[in-house]
Amino acid sequence: MTRLTTGGLIDRTTVLSFSFDGRPYAGHPGDTLASALLANGVHRVATSVNRGRPRGIMAAGVEEASALVQLEAPFPEPMLSATTIELYEGLVARGLPGRGKLADRPDPARYDAIHAHCDVLVVGAGPAGLMAALTAARAGSRVVLVDEQPMVGGSLLGTRGELSDWTATVLAELTSTPEVLVLSRTTAFGYYDDGFVLALQKRTDHLGAAAPDNAARQRIWRLRAKQVILATGAHERPVVFADNDRPGVMLAQAGRTYLNRYGVLAGNRILVFTTNDSAYVAAVELAEAGAEVTVVDPRTDLAPFWAAECARVGIAVRPGHMVTGTTGEERVTGVHLAAYPSGGASATVHCDLLLVSGGWNPTVHLFSQARGKLEYDAELGAFLPVAGLPGAGVVGVRVTGAAAGTVSLAGCLAGGAAEAVAALRDLGVAAQPVAPPPVGTDRVERAGLVLWTVPVEISLDGSDLSDTRFVDLQRDATVGDVLRAAGAGLRSVEHVKRYTTIGTAHDQGKTSGLIASGIMADALGVDMAALGTTTYRPPYASVSFAALAGRDRGAIFDPVRVTAIHSWHIEHGAQFEDVGQWKRPLCYPRRTAFGGLEDLPAAVARETRAARTGVAMLDASTLGKINVQGVDAGEFLDRIYTNIISTLKPGFVRYAVMCGMDGMILDDGTVMRVSDTEFVLTTTTGNAAKVLDWLEEFAQTEWPDLRVHLTSVTEQWATIPVVGPLSRQVIAAVAPALDVSNEAFGFMTWRSAEIAGIEARICRISFSGELAYEVNVPSWYGIAVWQAVFDAGQPYGITPYGTETMHVLRAEKGYPIIGQDTDGTVTPQDLGMSWVVSKKKLDFVGKRSFSRAENLRPDRKHLVGLLPVDRSVLLAEGAQVIADPDVSQLPVVMLGHVTSSYRSVALGGTFGLALVRSGRDRIGERLFAWQDGEVVPVMVTGPVLYDEEGARRDG
């Protein structure tokens, strides 16, 4: 066992059992899966994706590039880093060979999202972040502090409890301050515009099967901050050498963290290979914990303090040396050493843990995502946020602590407070920096050596395919791959990234990206500053699609709009279709004599027959409706529609078409004149919002002098067309006070009348060609009036019908559906509706375009009817219409396409509408529709196939 008996932030009084790769293990609360595995002596965790090499745990946090696992219980989740999984009772995991496997069943967990607003958002609860948050909190600001760990402290968590009393005090103060929100287990993964930061909170992951059902397992915080302070710390980076990927090769700070935070001594014979002073504290602490430690440092001028400390605890130090390779299989067993930089005097030293430190990469991801500029610091070997230069920083975004390149603890504490003061000053708040806790002298005495890889023969051809000097462990990408990229002529780090895939894995190259750039710079002999870095993009850490989807799934995925009559449709067995966001009855299948349900063709045949021969009713409430008021309302509508509206008298209704500036049909509908100064117009169901925006744009921007106001009344009115030769009797029955005769109530007029005691507006308009009355009532009464009409229609066999029947009825009459029979390239003239285009009006939207040469071409596509020669063949909507049935001659000349196609009882077979080039000149011609690999002969007809003379509309 490598678990120490004391020390760390784990609860040894509680034992958590878990399983890894099929074997049972035990750990404690406070462990990660990685620390628990190490505590059980398990170093090999995964297998590399391409080369099948054993891989272990190389870090103690989100930067882990190697230890990928798949969780199996309580719910399968692939591609997780063992270093970021908090241990829980019953955890089942297995190591991955690079790729995971998605669950084959729905995830039962809840996920959600929530918005939060603050004056100051602090990302990172390390020393700098805590000071920043505390300073802002004491100033009375609204503060959000997010941190990815389950407890605050940041880098302090990897120490021997340094400042632990202080962090506890700060946390207590923050959590008890009103308007301060501390979010732990929360990773800010993206900076977007205007202080908008997305953060993923893992809320119940650590509870395993004990997670409550009603709590969202993960939550996306949509944080909107006036000021953002990034105290995101730094990630240690390794140095590359041969066989640097063996289990047991770990970052130095990770080795220290496993010791101090988790009470795990990850090795007994430890070799620390460092290019800088920061790893010495790890070496000393591990030695004091009982390990035999050797330090290898390529530098020759060692810091006196650390030399003395090493001597004190018995650490052998090999200055002027480097690690050139390792031995071992499942775990490192030894290290090859050589003099630096010559490579001479090589030797092999036994060890069971190799800790490596090549320096630190400030975590500048969010700053860079905010378009903050980065500058290469040759001394640190890292890109740092540029601060204080005009235009270099980002308004409202500050970086502090190790993320800003600050090395000392005292500097981080002071910096955090200072940045908070500066941020508050920008908000107009005068604040004092809180006093930092006392800390010891910082022990970084000598500059680090920037070393990306131990010296090797630089060969641009990178021909050694057995290269084991791994730059990106997760992608199995090596120094040789980088050199091959350079040899192939690539000069941009972005290209090298794509060529080698370095930095494209789940860890996004947190430890490898900069090294790849460094190797590239060395190989090309260019300055690192000039080479730059690859672009940092969200997400900073992996975010599951389930979390991103949140509650936008299942029944509440997208708004479902229903009419006031919806519950009646459900009760009467309607089959629904989606029309935009609306649910509309498609048809109302009845029980058949055999106990089954009618299929769609049978239901539609019955419903259309009722409308053509008896009486039927439709819920048309989804039609868009716009109230237009004002003394200039008529003038306004004259300018919008192609036909004249201002001459319409109160009590009358007119069909009208509106076009875009280009003369193409935008929408159609009816216009009802209520009074001299008031109209109600309808739009197609899907276009209601678009048309209102369109009208408002003209009213507000082009013609602000017109006194006209537009108000949506779509849901104010329930709309019920009562259709068919017997509709007059039904309306007479429900509206006894209304004279329903054709003489008193003619086509294209409307009347106010009471239906079942409810004030209604009834329009004599028809979208079927039949005698029809469109009943409009305030939608509260929609269902009552629907039922009243239904009851009154019983003696006449009234039949509710759905959208499919509506389509058959209108298509038989050649009435186009805007957006189905048109596609934004169709003029009214193309539809054969020149009659709807006023010749008298001086101007209206689109008028000038009708005389453009393109719109006068005789070979434009026209709306025509198509009758299949075999009237049992249903044309496919979208099928191409061609003249020559020999499709072996390429290219086949396309004349147009089928826009609508139905079976018709009234027409005794199938029929369609189509847009066909010069279609009106082809009436009587035989053409072909190409569908399902066959040519279907069709006859071209005019678009009106039923009751061409219009004899039926008055009953």
Partner 1 sequence: MQLISCPWCGPREEAEYHYGGQAHVAYPHDVGAMSDADWADYLFFRDNPRGPFAERWVHAAGCRRWFNAVRDTGTHEVLAVYRIGEPQPELGTQASR
Partner 2 sequence: MTAEHVSPSKLLRPLSPLDGWQAAFDALPNVVAVTEIAFMAQLNLRVDPSGPAAGAVAKVLGSALPTQPCSSTRSGEYQLLWLGPDEWLILAPEGAGPELETALREAIGGEPGAVTDVSAQRTTLALSGCASRELLAKGCSIDLHPKVSPMGTCVQTLVAQTGIIIVARDETASDFLLVVRASFAQYFAAWLIDAGVELTGAC
Which residues contribute to the site for partner 2 (CB under 8 A)? Answer: 110, 112-117, 142, 214-216, 222, 224, 551, 555-556, 558-564, 566-568, 570-571, 582, 622, 627, 629-631, 707, 709, 711-717, 756-757, 778-784, 787-788
Using CB under 8 A as the binding rule, whether residue 689 contacts partner 1 is answered as yes
Residue closer to partner 2 by CB (options 782, 816) is 782
- Total residues contacting partner 1 (rule CB under 8 A)? 23
Binding test (CB under 8 A) with partner 1, winner from 179, 558, 676, 697: 697
The tokens for 859 are 């070979």
The interface mask with partner 1, positions 825-844, x = CB under 8 A, is: -----------------xx-
Which one of partner 2, partner 1, none is in contact with 142 (Cβ closer than 5 to 8 A by kind)?
partner 2
| Sign of the torsion angle spanned by Cα atoms 494, 499, 500, 503 | positive
Which residue, 117, 135, 132, 175, is CA-closest to 430? Answer: 135
Comparing CB distances to partner 1, the nearer of 851 and 889 is 851
Q: What does the alpha-carbon distance between residue 53 and residue 928 come to, in Å, rounded to a whole number?
A: 62
What contacts 581, CB < 8 A, 6 or more positions away? 558, 559, 560, 561
**DSSP label at residue 358:** -
Alpha carbon 329 to its chain's center:
42
Closest distance between partner 1 and the C-beta of residue 692, in Å? Answer: 8
User: Cis bond leading into 298, ω under 30°?
Assistant: no
Binding status of residue 627 toward partner 1 by CB under 8 A:
no
Q: How far apart are CA 588 and CA 571, in angstroms?
A: 10
Pick between residue 207 and residue 713 the one whose CB is nearest to partner 2. Answer: 713
Does position 848 interact with partner 1 (CB under 8 A)? The reply is yes
The DSSP H or E segment spanning 609 is helix 600-613
Binding residue (CB under 8 A) for partner 1 from 652, 849, 871, 939: 849
Binders of partner 1 in range 644-663 (CB under 8 A): 661-662
Question: Residue 194 or 571: which CB sits closer to partner 1?
Answer: 194
How far is 203 from 185, CA to CA, in rounded Å? 7
DSSP per-residue string spanning 175-241: HHSTTEEEE-SEEEEEE-STTEEEEEEE-SGGGGGGS-TTSEEEEEEEEEEEEEEE---EEE---B-
Closest CB 566 distance from partner 1, rounded Å:
24
- 701's contact among partner 1, partner 2, none, with CB below 5 to 8 A by partner kind, is partner 1
State the minimum distance, in angstroms, from the CB of residue 554 to partner 2: 9
Are 728 and 789 in contact, with CB atoms under 8 Å apart?
Answer: no
Distance CA 850, CA 115 (A): 50
Residue 572: closest CA among 561, 559, 586, 560: 586
What DSSP assignment string belongs to 766-822?
-SSSS-EEEEEEEGGGHHHHHHHHHHHTGGGT-EE--HHHHHHHHHHTTPPPTTTT-
Please identify, using beta-carbon distances, which residue of 110 and 728 lies nearer to partner 2.
110
Q: How far is the CB of 777 from partner 2 (least distance, A)?
A: 9
Contact of residue 778 among partner 2, partner 1, none (CB under 5-8 Å per partner type): partner 2
Question: Which residue lies nearer to partner 2 by CB, 385 or 782?
Answer: 782
Nearer of residues 442 and 702 to partner 1, judged by Cβ: 702
Which partner from the list partner 2, partner 1, none does 94 bind, CB cut-off 5 to 8 Å by kind? Answer: none
193 binds partner 1 (CB under 8 A): yes
Restricting to residues 215-234, which ones interact with partner 1 according to CB under 8 A? 222
Q: How far is the CB of 189 from partner 1 (least distance, A)?
A: 14
Name the β-bridge partners of 357.
Answer: 274
Options 26, 169, 184, 196; binder of partner 1; rule CB under 8 A? 196
Which helix (H) or strand (E) segment holds residue 409: the answer is helix 409-426
According to CB under 8 A, which one of 142, 261, 847, 862 is a site residue for partner 1? Answer: 847
**Nearest-angstrom CA–CA distance, 203 and 545:** 16
Minimum CB separation of residue 711 from partner 1 in Å reads 10
Q: C-alpha distances in angstroms, 88 versus 7, 206, 647? A: 20, 6, 77
Binding partner at 788 among partner 2, partner 1, none, C-beta below 5 to 8 Å by kind: partner 2
128 versus 785: smaller Cβ distance to partner 2: 785
Spell out the residues 6+ positions from residue 117 whose beta carbon is closer than 8 angstroms to its own.
Answer: 142, 223, 224, 225
Peptide linkage before 178 cis (omega within 30 of 0): no
Contact flag: residue 853 with partner 1 (CB under 8 A): yes
Q: Is 852 in the site for partner 1 (CB under 8 A)?
A: yes
> Rounded to an integer, what distance in angstroms lies between the CA atom of residue 320 and that of residue 891?
75
847 binds, among partner 1, partner 2, none (CB under 5 to 8 A by kind): partner 1
Tell me which of partner 1, partner 2, none is bound by residue 392, counting a contact when its beta carbon lies within the kind-specific cut-off of 5 to 8 angstroms: none
Assess 701 for contact with partner 1 (CB under 8 A).
yes
Binding residues vs partner 1 (CB under 8 A): 192-194, 196, 222, 661-662, 689, 693, 696-697, 700-702, 704, 842-843, 847-849, 851-853
